[in-house]
Structure 1
Amino acid sequence: MRRRLALLVAAVSVLILTAFLAPLALLVRTVAADRATVRATADAQSLAPVVGAADPATVRLTVERLAADSGHPVTVFLPDGTVLGAPAPRTPAVALAARGESLTVGGDDGREVVIAVRGRPDGTAVIRTVVPRAKLTAGVARAWLVLAALGVLLVLVGLAVADRLARTLVRPIAELSRVSHRLANAELDARVTPAGSPELREVAGALNHLAGRIQELLHDEREQVADLSHRLRTPLTALRLEAESLRDPDDAVRMTAAVDGLERAVTGLIRQARWRRSTSAPARCDAAGVVGERVAFWSVLAEETGREVTLDLAPCPLPVRAPADELAAAVDALLGNVFAHTPDGTPFTVALEAAAGQVVLTVADDGPGLPPDALRRGASTAGSTGLGLDIARRAAQASGGRLELHAGLRGGARVLLRLGRAED
C-alpha cells in the first residue's frame, strides 16, 4: 500500500510540475531572447542621431566603437550605397528598412535587427545588427537546470510526505493483521489498539469485540463440556461397583480395567475442556507402547467375536508429538470402527512403522469398506455418531500429520494414521 501511494503521489507530482514547469521553461527562453534583442535594438538606436546627421567618417568611427563595446556586429548602409562597419550583405530586411520601416527578423544564425534612419539629405540610411543565437539563449540552460532541480526536489518532498502519511495508514492495518493472525493461532487475549482514521478505529473496535465474544463463547462451551463430562462420573462409579461385585475374578479384573480406562478418558476430557494445552512443552508419547496396549485391550473382544488380529509393531520405541490419551482415543476410534462396521469373524491388521519424519499406523480389514464421505464429521451410514474418524484425523493433524483412507488389497478398508515424529 505504501508503494502504491508513493507511485500515485509521484505520478500526480510529475504531471503537475510538467504542466507548470514546461510553460515556465518556454517563457524563460522567450524572455532571454527578447532581452538580448531589446539590448541590441537599444544599442543600434543609439546610433540613429549620428547616422542621420554626421559625415561618413564620424559614422564609421562611432559604429566601430559601438561594435567593440556591445560585441554585436553593426553595419550602416548609407543611401548612396556606402557600407560602414562590419561587412554584411544587403538582405531583404535591409531593403525593406530602406523604404522607412524598422523591423526584426529571425534567422538560422540569430535575429537580424534593422532600423531605418531618416533625416539625411540623400535619403534613408539603415542600421543593421545581428544577435547571435548563443546570446539569445544565454543563461537559458542554467535556468532550465534550476527548474529541473526544483521539480525533482518538489517530487522528493512529495514522496517523503506521502510515505509519512502512508505509514500512518499502513501501521494500523498491519496491527490489525497481526492481531488477526494471533487470534487465528488461538491467542484469544490478543487485542488491537485503535489508531488511524475513524474507519480503521471502528474496524479495530469490531475486531476486539469479536475476539471478546469468541473468548466468552469458547469459555461457555468448555464449561458445558466439563460439566457434561463430570456428570459421567456417577454412572462410572456405579459401573465400577458392579464390576467389583462380579464373582469371576477374571471378569472383574477385565471390567475394572475397562472402567479405569473410561475414567481416565473422562478425566482427560475435563482437563482439556478447562485448561489450555501448554505450548512451551509439547506433549509426546511412545506410539509403540500406546498402540500395543490398546490392541491388547481390543484383542479380548476380537477373540469373543472370532476375529483374527495381526499385530506388527516396530521393536523400538517410536516417540510422536501427541499426548498418550489422544493417541489412545484415536486408536480406539479406528479399532472400534472395525468392530462396528464389519461382520463378526472379519480379520484385521494393525501395523506401526517409522517413515521419513513420521510414524505411520495402519489399520486394515477385509470388511465392506468405507463410504466416500467417511471423513465428514458426523457422517455415518451404520447408525453411529460418525465422529470416530474425525477424532483420529484431529489427533493426526495436531501432531503434524494427516489421516488417509484407502481401499484394501483384498477389499475392505485401509486407514493410515500419519503422526509427526518427536525428536529423540
Structure 2
Amino acid sequence: MKRRMINSLLGVVLVVVAVFCVPLALLEKRSIVSNAQDRVDAAAVRLLGLVETRLAAGEPVTGERIGSQVIEGDYAEIRIPGQPVITIGTPPAGHPLTASESGPSSETVTVEQSRHNVDHEIGNMLLLLGLVALLAVQAAVALAVWQARRLARPLTDLAETAERLGSGDPRPRDRRYGVPELDRVAEVLDASAERIGRMLTAERRLAADASHQLRTPLTALSMRLEEITALCDQPETVREEASIALQQVERLTDVVQRLLTNQRDTHGPSAAGFDLDEVVKQQHEEWAASMRGTGRRLVIEGLEHVTATGTPGTVSQVLATLIENSLMHGGGTVTLRVRSSGSSAVIEVQDEGPGVPPELGNRVFERAVSGRNSTGIGLAVARDLAEADGGRLELLSLKPPVFALFLPRTRPGQDRA
C-alpha cells in the first residue's frame, strides 16, 4: 500500500511537472532568443545611423573610426556603393544571430552575433527549471511517504486487532486515528471484540458448569462400580464387566477433569511419550464384547511396543470414535493395525463394510456431514482432538474404509507417560 501511494503521488507530480515545465521552458527559450535578436537589431540600427551621419557630413567611413561603436564580440559588414566592403570584428562560427539594415543611399549594414551567450542563458534557465522540478519531486516523495505512513500505521493496527480476535484475544484496543473511515472500522472491530468476549465467556462458563455437574454423578457411579467389583460372591464375568465399566468411567472422569482444567488454562496438556499397546489393548477389551454381540470381530495387527507422543486419553477417545463408527456403519471384521511411517506412528481402523460414499470423501470430517443419518459430529470432534494433541486423522481409503491416526513417534531420550 505504501509503495502504491508513493507511486501514485509521484506519478501525479511528474505529470504536473511535465505539463507546466515543458511549455514554460519553450516560452523562456523563445523569449531569450527574441531578446538577443532585438539586441542585434538595435546594434544594426545604431551602426546604420552612424554611417548615415558620416556620409551626410562628407566624412570618410572606415572601420577604425566606427569600430568602437560596435559591441565587443559582434561582427559587422558595411556596404557602401562605390566603396570596398568594410568589416569590423571576426565572423562568429556556427549559426549566429544576424540583423541587416539599409539606408536611403543604398548603404547596407549587417551585424552578426555569436549564439554562445544565448545558449549559455538557455542552459542556465533549463538548469533552474530542472532544480525546481527535482525539488518538487522530492517534496512530493516526502509528502507521499508521510501520508502513506499516516494511513498505513492505522491499517497495521487494525490488522493486528483482527488477528488478535482470530487468535482468541477479544480485548478491544480503543484506538482512534483521526480518519473517519478508519475510526469507523476500529469502532466496529472493538464492538465485535466485546461481543466475542461475551460469547467466549458464556461458552466457557457453560462448559465449566456442565463439566462440574457431570463430575458428581460420575463420582457416584464410580463408587458403585467399585462396590460391585469388591463383592466376592459375584460371578467372575460380572466383576470383569464391572472393571471394564469402571475403566470407562475413570476415563470419562479424566476427560471432564481436563475440560475443567482447560477452562482455567488455555494451554493444553503437555504431550508425552506413551506405549500404544496399552491404548490399543484397552480399546480391544472395551469393544470386543459389543462386536461379538453383533456377530463381528475386533482384531489387532501390526507392530508392538511402538511409542508415540501424545495424550493416552485423547488417543483412546479418537480410537473409540473410529471403532464406534465402524460398528454402526461398517461390516465384517474391524482391524486395529499399528505401523510406522517415517517419523510417525500410525493406528489404522479398517472394516469390511460398504465404505464411505464417493460423494463424501474427506467431507466426512466436516460437522453435520453424514451419509447414514447420524449426527455428523463424531468424526469432526475426533479430528479436532487429534490435531489438538499434535497428530492428524485422515481417511486413507473409501472402500474398504480405512481411517488412520498419525502421531509423532517418541524421540530418543523423551520421557514416556
Question: What's the TM-score once normalised by structure 2's chain length?
Answer: 0.83
- Does 1:277 find its partner at 2:259? no
Q: Which residue of 1 aligns with 2:338?
A: 352
Letter in 1 for 2:115: R
Q: For residues 363-382 of structure 1, what are the structure 2 equivalents within 5 Å?
A: 363-371=349-357, 372-373=359-360, 374-380=364-370, 382=372
State the AA in 2 paired with 1:158. A
Deviation at 1:79, TM superposition (A): 3.8
C-alpha separation in 2, matches of 1:251 and 1:324? 22
Given candidates 287, 301, 322, the residue that maps to 1:334 is 322
- Report the counterpart of residue 415 of structure 1 in structure 2: 403
CA distance 1:286–1:187, change in 2 (3 Å): farther
User: Aligned residue for 2:282?
Assistant: 293
Look up the match of 2:73.
71
Cα gap change, 1:127 to 1:347, in 2 (>3 Å): same
Q: Distance in 2 between matches of 1:284 and 1:200?
A: 47
Among 234, 258, 266, the alignment partner of 1:268 is: 258
In the alignment, is residue 257 of structure 1 matched against residue 247 of structure 2? yes
Give the aligned partner of residue 202 of structure 1. 184
The counterpart of 2:148, out of the listed 151, 155, 166, is 166
Q: Is the 8 A contact 1:399 1:420 kept in 2?
A: no
- AA of the residue aligned to 1:290: V
Inter-partner Cα distance in structure 1 for 2:274 and 2:166? 30
Partner residue of 1:21? 21
Query: Which residue type is aligned with residue 125 of structure 2?
Result: A
* 1:261-295 Cα shifts (integer Å, max 9, x gaps): 222222223333x234317x843452614344333
- 2:95 aligned partner, one-letter code: D
Give me the whole-angstrom Cα distance separating, in 1, the residues matched to 2:156 and 2:125: 45
- 1:205 is displaced (CA, Å) by 1.7
Match among 295, 318, 335 for residue 307 of structure 2: 318
Tell me whether 221-230 or 381-390 shows the greater mean CA deviation: 381-390
CA separation of 1:355/1:398 partners in 2, compared to 1, >3 Å: closer, same or farther?
same
Structure 1 156/356 Cα, relative in aligned 2: closer, same or farther at 3 Å? Answer: farther
| Aligned residue number for residue 378 of structure 2 | 388
Aligned Cα RMSD in Å?
3.1
Aligned partners of 1:259 and 1:7: how far apart in 2?
A: 67
Partner Cα separation in structure 2 for residue 390 and residue 31 of structure 1 = 83
Report SS of the residue matched to 2:337: strand
Secondary structure of residue in 2 paired with 1:73 = strand
Partner of 2:231: none
- Contact 1:292-1:313 at 8 Å conserved across structures: no
Task: Report what 1:104 is aligned to.
Answer: none
Deviation at 1:48, TM superposition (A): 3.4
Residues 110, 131 of structure 1: 8 Å contact kept: yes
What percent of counterpart residues are identical?
27
Deviation at 1:130, TM superposition (A): 1.5
Encode CA deviations 1:23-70: one digit per residue, 9 max, x unaligned: 221233223223322333333333334311325644432343345x42
Q: Deviations over 1:173-195 (max 9, x none)?
A: 01111222232222334746332
Deviation at 1:330, TM superposition (A): 0.9
Deviations 1:135-190 (A, max 9, x none): 43232123212211221221011111111011000011011112222322223347
Aligned length: 395
Residues 382, 389 of structure 1: CA spacing in aligned structure 2 closer, same or farther, 3 A cutoff? same
2:118 corresponding residue in structure 1: 136
Give the 5 Å matches for 1:223-238: 223-238=205-220
Listed as ranges, the gaps of 5+ residues in structure 2 are 229-233
Contact 2:314 2:389 in 1 (8 A): no
For residue 93 of structure 1, what is the aligned residue in structure 2?
A: none
Partner of 1:188, secondary structure, is coil
- Farther-moved stretch of structure 1 (150-159 vs 353-362): 353-362
Alignment-mate amino acid for residue 414 of structure 1? V
Q: Secondary structure at the residue paired with 1:368?
A: coil
Contact 2:308/2:407 (8 A) holds in 1 = no
1:109 to 92, 95, 100: 95
* Secondary structure of the corresponding residue to residue 286 of structure 1: strand
**How many Å apart are 1:313 and its aligned residue?**
5.4
* Letter paired with 1:73: Y
Distance in 2 separating the partners of 1:182 and 1:319: 33
Distance change (3 Å), C-alpha of 1:15 and 1:251? closer
Q: Normalising by structure 1, report the TM-score.
A: 0.82
Paired with 1:392 and 1:263, the residues of 2 have a C-alpha distance of 18
Partner of 2:175: 193
Question: Greater CA deviation, 24-33 or 244-253?
Answer: 244-253
Residues 71 and 197 from structure 1, CA distance in 2 versus in 1: closer, same or farther, beyond 3 angstroms? same
Query: What secondary structure sits across from 1:137 in the alignment?
Result: helix
Shift of 1:388: 1.9
1:214 shift after superposition: 0.9
Cα distance in 2 between the residues matched to 1:422 and 1:196 = 55
Q: 1:324-363: CA deviations, max 9, x gaps?
A: 33222111111121222345xx321112233234332210
Check 1:162–1:188 CA distance in 2 against 1; reply closer, same or farther (3 A cut): same
Contact 1:311 1:350 in 2 (8 A): yes
Q: Distance in 2 between matches of 1:416 and 1:254?
A: 25
Equivalent residues of 1:63, 1:85 under 8 A apart: no
In the alignment, which residue of structure 2 is the partner of 1:213? 195
Amino acid at match of 1:340: M
Report the 3-state secondary structure (helix = DSSP H, G, I; strand = E; otherwise coil) of the residue aligned with 1:43. Answer: helix
Structure 1 residue runs without a partner (length 5+): 90-107
Q: Does 1:308 align with 2:294?
A: no
Task: Give SS of 2:107's match.
Answer: strand
1:94 alignment partner in structure 2 = none
Q: Take 2:14 and 2:376, find their aligned partners in 1: how far apart are those partners?
A: 66
- Alignment CA distance shift 1:313-1:183 (3 Å): farther
Q: Specify the alignment match of 1:44 in structure 2.
A: 44
Q: 1:227 to 1:389 in 2, by over 3 A?
A: same
